[in-house]
Amino acid sequence: MQRWLLDLLVCPECRDARGLTLAGTGEAAVEDGELGCPGCGAAYPIRNGIPRFVPQQDDYAGNFGFQWNRWKTLQVDRLAGHRLSQTRFFADSRLPPEWLPGRLILDAGCGAGRFTDVAAQAGARVVAVDLSEAIDACRVNCANPQGHTPGRGEVAQVQANLLRLPFRDGVFDGLFCMGVIQHTPDPAAVMSALPRLLKAGAPLAYNFYEWHWLRRLEVIKYGLRRTTPDWPQGTLLGFCRVLVALLFPLTLVLAKIPKLRFFVRFIPIAAVHNPALTLRQQYDWTLLDTFDWYGPRYEQCQDHGQVAGLLQGLDLAEVDSRPGLAWARRPG
């Protein structure tokens, strides 16, 4: 754990303003140690350089820990040889690359760190948070490499629940929560909990699964999802391997025929056919996304108009919401 992170932390239970005390060795960073609360006496371990604020029973997202350690580098541009995460990050977050250097940014739900790494490469100092053991994959992926890009920012990881984040109010220059909200038990509570962490005038960006009536026609996917979140991870992975092996060639053909491309969405795999990827990467990405379809405990779609109303009800400024996306600023 980087020692500068200590200035941002408070106990997620009592939020005592005195912050947390650190017991551990290391001048710039602590690999193993403990954080203590002087208010309520709670103690939080630091393991493998990551402060952990998640009791084991809190982790409803174990499938994400499994998948992001299994496909650790696939979506990280710098490690996989593409720029898909960078393109999506700047389009969805609306954070200008020239604004990011030196800014303290929260990645709320980082997974393996695909967007964390983009923001860090642009010069931001990023605090990456995840509920699951995906946080360990993020630490490996976002470690400062030898000969890293000049101007690259630092990254710190924290394992925590988005509804019980251990940060002081008003400390971040910006935050983004991408690919996460739909997989939480209470999306509205998550979207409402994050803005208080921002400084006055700081921006936030959310993306989420948008509700659309066509989802009602995806009967095979949602029929299978009645049971698949309860399957052992190895069993689910084997099932997804069979589905993708059988159906990926079909989706590959349909995707090349304009009049038939629409029907790919009704085939029960999450087919990816981006020409920026090699065929092997398309296949692996499809397997990953198919596992991501069937594994999550929660999949709760949102209406972007209702999301806008929620953010306006929080008295946020410059609220803008489009299908699957929302942006706002903390007033000030």
Tens digit of each residue's pLDDT (9 = 90 or more) over 169-197: 999 999 999 999 999 999 999 999 999 99
Distances (CA, A) of 212 to 7, 17, 140, 209, 268: 43, 44, 37, 9, 17
The architecture CATH gives domain 53-210+304-329: 3-Layer(aba) Sandwich (3.40)
Q: Is pLDDT larger for residue 30 or for residue 197?
A: 197
- When the pLDDT of each residue in the chain is averaged and rounded to a whole number, the result is 94
Question: pLDDT tens digits, residue range 265-321?
Answer: 999 999 999 999 999 999 999 999 999 999 999 999 999 999 999 999 999 999 999
Question: For the chain, what are the domain ranges?
Answer: 53-210+304-329, 213-294
pLDDT of residue 209: 97
pTM for the full model?
0.94
Distances (CA, A) of 239 to 104, 180, 224: 41, 24, 11
pLDDT of residue 32: 92
Token pair recorded at residue 199: 């400084």
CA distance linking residue 36 with residue 246, whole number of Å: 52
Phi, psi dihedrals of residue 297, rounded to the nearest 5°: -65, -40
